[in-house]
Structure 1
């Protein structure tokens, strides 16, 4: 059986399943190749972001607001003191809302809750460590998240997409030549995995995480000692981050050299 005839059968199955494919592009009715390209890079993080929640509860709204503003001022000063990257420091607007509690099955007004979220990033684990040691977490000041990042992520992802796209062209060419067919055009390209009835379902193709932290390779630990502390030295250690971009392309083909 010629390649065109074999692929026409799979194409017919794809057309039957097309209504279930919730994507902008559709499966073509003519013979085609669906290929996946993948670009992957592992880098060491150069940004370390901390998120904080500053809040206060009081019967007097202005008293709660004042406490929150004082704590936010202290956090911003600490971020500056420990050399947070300037354009990453952000303090959200005040959020004010009533709070209630239940007593003997009845809802009782507990006061006004005022809160602000603060974020900042550091260019080294040493700077982050210093900030953490300078932060006294309590009911009104809480660290809600710590995460590594990469300052050139946008450019890296664009580069990985280009690599993945080039890989789809190479894969399609190799497959077509192996079966004595030739590529006649590009039908569609997407970074979203397709879902259709024949062959491969969307869920069976690996999906990329936005970022994933992995344990750092064995190396002599670098640490920042706490002044006046009798405990062993402590440190914040960073592991590599894996970035992954996938591209899915459909190429039209036909028999012949």
Structure 2
């Protein structure tokens, strides 16, 4: 049922199914505003609006329970207490393959996903249907925290919800041990990308212009802001490939999702 017929538009489970249930369809196009589902769409009896409130309630509960189960399973995949999970598989592999997987994941998210599928496609088509969170208009935070994840992996740092920072060995340390100048340049590119993508958050939260407004045809300033993030991500991906080369990981070939940039890696 999920992604029926191979179409990514047919989403029946996960975050975006829940997002749609809570916000409803965003009918504002590239104008200000997200979906505006009424709470009465989940009410009982005569207070119910648009019919099928009981089914909507049941679906929301089922989708939320499934998401919780999936996240619990994912957490277990990284637990040192579990046997035969992904953590154990990763640690049993060679160091080179471990590095390759980390760097490939970072590069693919940076270029193919963030710069390509999630920004460039939406910008070139001026299409709100191609933004990441098209019901809630929370796209700016999704983009930023994806980028924050790349930063976390490279620097070996993570800040918890409680504000506690966890640190450990990092890719940056490995690169610096071989080429300190290159390591500083690569980390600088990643930090610049993080700062640039954060301007999308500032635009939405401080200036009242969300991602779907920034990609509107004729919004030159908004288009320029999104394109600056794309180019920063492309530059970041070049750095990730450079890091791979320094660490002896050749032919990284991160996923581009067939979206190339003039600043090609």
| Greater helix content | 2
| Greater strand content | 1
TM-score of the pair, normalised by structure 2: 0.19
Structure with max Cα Rg: 1
TM-score of the pair, normalised by structure 1: 0.20
Question: Whose relative contact order is higher, 1 or 2, with alpha carbons under 8 Å and at least 6 apart?
Answer: 1
